[in-house]
Structure 1
Amino acid sequence: MNFSQHRYKLLAAALLALPHFAFAEIEGMTFTSVMQEQTTLTPASAMAINPVLEHSMNVYVSAGLDRKLKLYWLSSGVKLNEVNTGVIGVSDRITFQGKDFYGKQISIVAPNSQGNYTLQADLLTVDGNVIGSWSIPVTIDTQAPTANSSDLAFNYRSFGGTLASYSPMDFGQLKLTGIQDTGAGLKNVLYIVKDDVSLSLINSINAQLDLDTSTASLSSLPSEVLPSDRGWYQAGFRVFDAAGNYSDFTARSFIEKASYPLPVRSDIYDASSATWKPYTSWMTIYNNPIKVRYRRPYSETLEANGDYGWSSYGYREGDFVYNEFTVSYPTVNPYWVALTKSGIHSVNYLSDFKFTLGPGVDRSPTKQPDTVQWFSEEGGSGGERISVGKYTKVVRLRLNSEKMGYEQLAVVSGLGSCVIPIGETYCDVTINRVFESGFGYTPYSYVVYSSVNGVSDGRFSAQFNYWYTYWDFIAPTIESVNVTDDSITVNVYDTNTTSDWRSGMWKTEVFRLQSSLGFAISPDSWVITGTGRHRVTFKLNRLPSGRQNISFYADDTYGNRVTQSILSNYLNDTTPPVLRLQSPSGAQITNGSTINGLESLRISITDDSEANINSVVLSGGAAKDSVYVSTNNLGDGIYDLNYPRLFPSLEANETYTINITAQDTAGNASTLTSTFLYLPANLLQVGQMTTLAVNKQLQNTQNDPITSIKTGVLRTAEGQLASGAQTAFITLRSDAKINVNILGSVLQPGETKQITIIPSITGEVVIPVYSASPGVKGQASFMIDIPQITSTN
Structure 2
Amino acid sequence: MDLSGSITSTSSYSFVQDTTAPTIAGSFTLTRNAFYATIDNFGKTNTTKQLNMSGVTDANGIDHVEYWVKQPDNTKKYADVQYNNDSNSVVIDGSIAASTNMVPSPGYYEIGIDVFDVAGNKSTKSRYSHIDLTCPSTANDVTQVYNANSGVWQTYSPGMVIYANPVKVRYRRNLNDFATPSAPYGWKIGNAISYSDGNYAYYERTFPYKQQYTYFHFFSESGHVCRTHHLRSFNFTLANGVDLAPVHTKLAFKTNLSNDWVTSETFRTSKPATITTVRLFGQARSYRQKRTLSSGGTCYIEIGSSYCDISTNYKFSTGRGYIPYAHHAYKADGTMGLHSGYLYFYWDFNSPQISSLTQNKMGRSIQMNTFDADTTSDWRSSMWVISSAGASAVVDGNVIALSSPTMNKVDYQHREYTFDTSSLDVAAIVPITFFVEDSYGNRTEKTESYAIDTKKPEVLVTYNGTVLPEIITDIRDLEFKVEDFSEASLTSVQLTGSDANENVYLAIVDKGDGNFSVEKPRIFPTLDYDSGERYTLNMIAQDEFGNSVTKSIVFGYTPENLIVVDTQQYLPSNGAALYDVSDHAIASIYSEEILTLDSSQIATGKQQAEISNRKNSDFPIVVRGNDGLVTVAPGETKTMVVDLGVSGSKLDIEVYPANNTEGSAEFMFNIPTLTTIY
Per the TM superposition, whether the score is higher than 0.5 is yes
Structure 1, 643-652 or 438-447: larger mean CA deviation: 643-652
Aligned match of 1:582: 462
Would you say 1:632 and 2:521 are equivalent positions?
Answer: no
- 1:495 is matched with 373
The residue correspondences of 1:98-497 to structure 2 (distance < 5 A) are: 126=5, 129-150=6-27, 152-167=28-43, 169=45, 170-181=47-58, 183-184=59-60, 186-193=61-68, 195=70, 202-222=76-96, 223=99, 226=102, 228-258=104-134, 260-261=136-137, 266-271=142-147, 272=149, 274-279=151-156, 282=158, 284-287=160-163, 290-294=167-171, 296-303=173-180, 306-312=183-189, 313=191, 314=193, 315-316=195-196, 321-326=201-206, 331-350=211-230, 353=233, 355=235, 357=237, 371-379=250-258, 381=262, 383-402=264-283, 408-421=289-302, 425-449=306-330, 451=331, 454-458=332-336, 461=338, 463-477=339-353, 479=355, 491-497=369-375
Aligned to 1:506: 384
Report Cα offsets for 1:429-449 as digits up to 9, x if no partner: 321111111221111223444
What corresponds to 2:551 in structure 1? 673
Structure 1 distance, partners of 2:112, 2:671, is 59
Q: C-alpha deviations, 1:212-251, integer Å up to 9, x for none?
A: 3333323344226626424444434444444333433444
Residues 679 and 224 of structure 1, relative CA distance in 2, 3 Å threshold: farther
CA distance in 2, matches of 1:781, 1:406: 121
Decide which structure has the larger Cα Rg and report it: 2
Aligned residues: 636
Amino acid at match of 1:372: L
Normalized against structure 2, the TM-score is what?
A: 0.76
Separation of aligned partners in 1, 2:376 and 2:37: 16
Distance 1:202 1:724 in 2: 69
SS at 1:155 equivalent = strand
Structure 2 CA distance for aligned equivalents of residues 356 and 135 of structure 1: 86
Deviation per residue, 1:495-537 (Å, 9 max, x gap): 2221111122222344455667555657756444444234455
Amino acid at match of 2:265: E
Report 1 or 2 for greater relative contact order, CA contacts < 8 Å, sequence distance ≥ 6: 1
AA in 1 matched with 2:485: D
Query: Residues 478 and 725 from structure 1, CA distance in 2 versus in 1: closer, same or farther, beyond 3 angstroms?
Result: closer
- Structure 1 residue matching 2:11: 3-state secondary structure: strand
Partners of 1:192 and 1:543 lie apart in 2 by: 39
CA 1:754–1:577 in structure 2 vs 1: closer, same or farther (change >3 Å)?
Answer: closer
Question: How far apart are the structure 1 equivalents of 2:581 and 2:103?
Answer: 81
1:662 to 520, 539, 542: 542
Partners of 2:188 and 2:502 lie apart in 1 by 71
Following the alignment from structure 1 to structure 2, what is the Cα–Cα distance between the partners of residues 329 and 690? Answer: 120
Q: Tell me: CA distance 1:768–1:190, structure 2 relative to 1, closer, same or farther (3 Å).
A: same
- The one-letter amino acid paired with 2:86 is D
2:440 to 529, 549, 558: 558
Q: Which amino acid aligns with 1:247?
A: S
Q: Tell me, what secondary structure is at the counterpart of 1:502? A: coil
**Aligned-residue offset at 1:273:** 5.1
Deviations 1:690-722, CA, capped at 9 Å, x for gaps? 999x99679989599xx9985444979887479
Letter in 1 for 2:457: P
SS of 2:37's equivalent in the other structure is coil
Could you say if the C-alpha distance between residues 507 and 522 of structure 1 is closer, same or farther in structure 2, counting changes exceeding 3 Å? Answer: farther
Query: How has the CA–CA distance of structure 1 residues 720 and 230 changed in structure 2, closer, same or farther, with 3 Å as cutoff?
Result: farther
Structure 2: gaps (5+ residues): 623-629, 645-650
Give runs of aligned pairs for residues 593-632 of structure 1, distance below 5 A: 598-617=475-494, 629-632=506-509
- Conserved in 1, the CA contact under 8 Å of 2:388 and 2:436? yes
Residue deviations 1:94-120 (CA, integer Å, cap 9, x gap): xxxxxxxxxxxxxxxxxxxxxxxxxxx
Q: Distance in 2 between matches of 1:307 and 1:644?
A: 76
Query: 2: distance between equivalents of 1:520 and 1:284?
Result: 63
Deviations 1:25-74 (A, max 9, x none): xxxxxxxxxxxxxxxxxxxxxxxxxxxxxxxxxxxxxxx663xxxxxxxx
Q: Distance in 2 between matches of 1:395 and 1:531?
A: 35
Give me the TM-score of the superposition, normalised by structure 1: 0.66
What displacement does 1:662 show? 0.7
RMSD of aligned alpha carbons: 4.8
Q: How many angstroms does 1:255 deviate by?
A: 3.3
Asked if the contact 1:578/1:670 (under 8 Å) is kept, the reply is no
Q: CA deviation at 1:598?
A: 3.5
Distance 1:586 1:235 in 2: 70
SS of aligned partner of 2:653: coil
Q: 1:626 to 1:603 in 2, by over 3 A?
A: same
Higher deviation after alignment, 574-583 or 429-438: 574-583
What is the alpha-carbon distance in structure 1 between the residues aligned to residue 596 and residue 16 of structure 2?
A: 45
Structure 1: give runs of 5+ residues left out of the alignment: 1-63, 67-124
Offset of residue 726 of structure 1: 6.0
Please tell me the residue identity of whatever aligns with 1:412: L
C-alpha deviations, 1:578-618, integer Å up to 9, x for none?
223333415368xxx66665324333211233223444455
**Secondary structure, aligned partner of 2:76:** strand
Give the letter aligned to residue 180 of structure 2.
Answer: E
Whether the aligned pair in 2 keeps the contact of 1:412 and 1:447 (CA below 8 Å) is yes
Question: Residue 538 of structure 2 aligns to which amino acid in structure 1?
Answer: I
